[in-house]
Amino acid sequence: MALMLYGLLYLAGTMLALALIALLCWWLRYAVLVFYLLLPPMVLAWGCWAFFVAIPMGLLFDGSTAERRIVRISHWLNDECAAVLWFALTLPFKAFMVATELATWLIG
């Protein structure tokens, strides 16, 4: 009887490990897709911003209030790009949480 219980626990552990590996691989595939879709527009926006605004303003108005504003805008742009990537990478988990909450609301 104990041997059968050990076998069932081993089987359950193996299935759980394989399920977690499959979930991680699915999310990594999704993360690669997110980076392929979002990074080129972000690099283009950053390149245009740096080439046409930030570098010329830094060279022309070094230390002025205009350059400090440009630096603030650059930091804001960096934070917003990071926020968009973070949102896109956590979207499947947020969707799963919303689906779980909806199911518990429907059941209860």
pLDDT in tens, 36-60: 999 999 999 999 999 999 999 888 8
81 close to 42: Cβ distance less than 8 angstroms: yes
Using alpha carbons only, give the angle 84, 35, 32 rounded to the nearest 5 degrees. Answer: 130
CA–CA dist 70, 64 (Å, integer)? 10
State the Cα–Cα distance between residues 64 and 17, nearest whole angstrom. Answer: 58
- Tens of pLDDT, residues 70-93: 999 999 999 999 999 999 999 998
Task: Report pTM.
Answer: 0.73
